[in-house]
Structure 1
Amino acid sequence: MIKLRDIQKSFGDLKVLKGIDLEIHEKEIVSIVGPSGSGKTTLLQIMGTLDKPDQGSIEIKGKKIDGLKDKELAIFRNQEIGFIFQFHQLLPEFTAVENIMMPALIGGLSKSKAQDRAMELLDLLGLKERAEHKPNELSGGEKQRVAVARALINDPAVVLADEPSGSLDTQNKEELHQLFFDLRDQLGQTFVIVTHDEKLAQLTDRTIHLIDGQLNDK
């Protein structure tokens, strides 16, 4: 599903990624762990085509990403990759269902079809009755579930999550973690999750250790 070869990335004189070779399989749930500053988020952003490596190749779902023009890359990202962030990044002026619809509308789906799909996801995630609530009217766990639904709206092949449960209490963390596995079983997505949460890392199919910009197999 995802193939990375010799991924290198520097910011000024700081070399953040030092030749990463990694393969992630279809429907696999993989966690990436490591100390702060080890390059986890940079690796995830490169995997998600939000940043470009200085060197190396990226293949997602059989498609070579390096060399794509910005417009082609944006279309591919919208269709094939969903993102979940630590602080949900919902737009405060829009309702839950409107936030979820955004990637579908950007992708060219009609408003009615986008709304129908968003409502299906809200129902799946147990939030149908919260569809018309704005983010400031939702709990932390509800906001993150809305963010998960937004990531899934275009039925992406890959979902990338950066510390998705970092701002949640224990109960909401456990519910969110279980949700990832339920969604993988129901919808068939591949999940790559950057996390400091040891419990989540232990649950995933595979844990990748990143230290000082290099993979450290344990």
Structure 2
Amino acid sequence: MIQLEGITKSFGSLQVLKGIDLNIDKGEVVSIVGPSGAGKTTLLQIMGTLDKPDAGRIVLNGVEVNKLKDSQLAAFRNKEIGFVFQFHQLLPEFTALENVTIPALIQGDSAGKAEKRALEILDFMGLTERASHKPAELSGGEKQRVAVARALINHPSVVLADEPSGSLDTQNKEELHKLFFDLRDKLGQTFVIVTHDEGLASQTDRTIHIVDGRIINPEVQE
């Protein structure tokens, strides 16, 4: 479902990625781990089309994204890729429901259709009673679940998460991790997660180890 071939990336004289080859199947929950500065977030951003590689090929859901024009790429990203960041990145002036609907509205869905879908996802997340609350009125765990709901609104092929539980306490962290696997089991959702959390990495279907810009011994969890 995701194919990366020969991905390289440099910032000035510093080569961050040194020829990454990686395949991810539909419905996999894959973690990417490694020391700080290894290239994990850069790889995730390239996979999510937020940044471009210096060389290499990216195929996502059958589309070679390197060949898309900027306007096509923006539309493709909004539809096919959901993002969850360490800090929820919710818009403070909007309610949870409004935050979740935004990608669907950008896609061109009607307000009614977007709201209906958003309410369904928030209900799945156990957040129906929090839909009208703004981010400042939500707990850290609730904010991150709203962020996951926003990532899911357009039925993306993959959700990319960068340290999604890094700012959460133990209970909320465990609940968020369980949510990822529930979404995979019930919806067939694919996740690629950059994490320093060994507990989360140990639960994923596969752990990709990156050291010095290279993949070292991909590990399949038994």
Asked if TM exceeds 0.5, the reply is yes
C-alpha deviation, 1:151, in angstroms: 0.1
Q: TM-score, normalised by structure 2?
A: 0.97
Q: How does 1:46-61 map to 2 (within 5 A)?
A: 46-61=46-61
- Root-mean-square deviation (CA), in Å? 0.6
Instruction: Tell me the secondary structure at the aligned position of residue 146 of structure 1.
Output: helix
Q: Does 1:2 align with 2:22?
A: no
Q: Does 1:184 align with 2:211?
A: no
Q: TM-score, normalised by structure 1?
A: 0.99
Instruction: Find the aligned partners of 2:107 and 2:79 in 1 and give their Cα distance.
Output: 7
C-alpha deviation, 1:185, in angstroms: 1.1
Structure 1 counterpart of 2:193: 193
Instruction: Find the aligned partners of 1:20 and 1:92 in 2 and give their Cα distance.
Output: 37
Instruction: Find the aligned partners of 2:68 and 2:80 in 1 and give their Cα distance.
Output: 14
Structure 2 counterpart of 1:84: 84
Q: Does 1:212 align with 2:212?
A: yes
Structure 2 counterpart of 1:148: 148
Quote the sequence identity (%).
73
Q: Does 1:136 align with 2:143?
A: no
Instruction: Tell me the secondary structure at the aligned position of residue 99 of structure 1.
Output: helix
Q: Where in structure 1 do 4 or more consecutive aligned residues deviate above 6 Å? A: none
Instruction: Find the aligned partners of 1:91 and 1:166 in 2 and give their Cα distance.
Output: 20
Structure 1 counterpart of 2:107: 107
Instruction: Tell me the secondary structure at the aligned position of residue 66 of structure 1.
Output: helix
Instruction: Find the aligned partners of 2:66 and 2:105 in 1 and give their Cα distance.
Output: 26
C-alpha deviation, 1:186, in angstroms: 1.3
Q: How does 1:29-40 map to 2 (within 5 A)?
A: 29-40=29-40
Structure 1 counterpart of 2:173: 173
Residue-pair matches, total: 218
Matched AA of 2:165 = S
Q: Does 1:64 align with 2:64?
A: yes
Structure 1 counterpart of 2:161: 161
Instruction: Find the aligned partners of 1:51 and 1:104 in 2 and give their Cα distance.
Output: 22
Q: Does 1:94 align with 2:94?
A: yes
CA shift digits 1:148-185 (9 cap, x unpaired): 00000000010000000000000000000010000011
Matched AA of 2:54 = D
